[in-house]
């Protein structure tokens, strides 16, 4: 288990790191909002623990940009801003759960484990990179996906969908989960809109060695021509 803890309170992140290390979890700490996204992209954590009040850049802005880039890592917000309005704002920005401070360590551990159970598509049991499959490569700097040295011409929604499918290549991803990632916080969008994005993405994947397949009643699956994910 690898966690990225984005928290500027020295006493808190020190105590959390020690406690979580004792149960066998690897914890990487980031204390500045401006450095949070580069660290997130580079470390490929299983779960992000995110404070909202950060120096340099607010945690909500970090989260919103991460989701816009297609980063699908489950996020648990840890903050003293615990009003109902704050929680709604955080969830609408793309958070998966919200734990107000102060909190109990046992509850934190339980919530992290629950996030992993809810998002099995983010585990890469083959040891392959989540950023590259069947010759498709995601570049976090340019926020583009490349194939054979060329940038795929994708809309932001197509990019978000493909990033989620790359993270679980060869396995089904539900329409509900994809909708959350492609249309975060957009309650006014009809659920069927995810099918339009899938249709357009399917056409753009032609010739890449990857095929987007619809699984009736399950969702979508990214099939690789080689039958495996490349490292």
- Matching residue, tokens 């590259």: 132
Given a contact cutoff of 8 angstroms between Cβ atoms, the answer to whether 133 and 230 are in contact is: yes
Longest pairwise C-alpha distance within the chain? 53
pLDDT at 89 (0 to 100): 80
Q: What is the pLDDT of residues 149-168, one digit of tens each?
A: 788 899 989 988 998 888 77
* Mean pLDDT score, 133-160: 79
pLDDT at 58 (0 to 100): 92
Domains and CATH numbers, the chain: 2-118 (3.40.50.2300), 132-224 (1.10.10.10)
CB under 8 Å to 115, separation ≥6 — which residues? Answer: 47, 74, 76, 96, 97
Lowest mean per-residue pLDDT among 80-84, 186-190, 205-209:
80-84
Instruction: Name beta bridge partners: 38.
Output: none
pLDDT at 230 (0 to 100): 36
> Taking the CA of residue 119 as centre, how many other CA atoms within 13 Å lie in the half-sphere pointing to its CB?
28
Band of residue 129 on the pLDDT scale cut at 50, 70, 90: very low
More confident residue, 226 or 158: 158
* Mean pLDDT score, 187-192: 87
Percent of the chain exceeding pLDDT 70 equals 88
The pairing of strands 172-173 and 150-151 is: unpaired
More confident residue, 75 or 223: 75
Cis bond upstream, residue 102 (ω within 30): yes
């Amino acid at each position: 288990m690898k966690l990225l803890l984005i928290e500027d309170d020295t006493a808190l992140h020190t105590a959390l790191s020690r406690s979580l290390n004792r149960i066998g979890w690897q914890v990487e700490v980031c204390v500045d909002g401006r450095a949070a996204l580069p660290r997130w992209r580079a470390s490929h954590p299983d779960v992000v623990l995110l404070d909202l009040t950060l120096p340099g850049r607010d945690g909500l802005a970090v989260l919103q940009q991460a989701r816009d880039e297609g980063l699908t890592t489950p996020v648990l917000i840890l903050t003293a801003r615990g009003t109902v309005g704050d929680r709604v704002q955080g969830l609408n920005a793309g958070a998966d759960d919200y734990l107000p401070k102060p909190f109990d360590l046992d509850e934190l551990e339980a919530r992290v484990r629950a996030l992993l159970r809810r998002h099995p598509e983010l585990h890469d049991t083959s040891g392959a990179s989540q950023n590259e499959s069947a010759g498709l490569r995601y570049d976090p700097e340019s926020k583009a996906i490349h194939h054979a040295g060329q940038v795929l011409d994708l809309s932001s929604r197509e990019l978000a969908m493909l990033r989620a499918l790359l993270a679980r290549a060869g396995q089904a991803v539900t329409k509900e989960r994809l909708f959350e990632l492609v249309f975060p916080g957009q309650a006014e969008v009809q659920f069927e809109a995810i099918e339009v994005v899938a249709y357009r993405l399917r056409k753009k994947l032609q010739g890449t060695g990857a095929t987007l397949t619809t699984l009736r009643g399950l969702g979508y699956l990214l099939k690789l021509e080689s039958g495996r994910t490349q490292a």
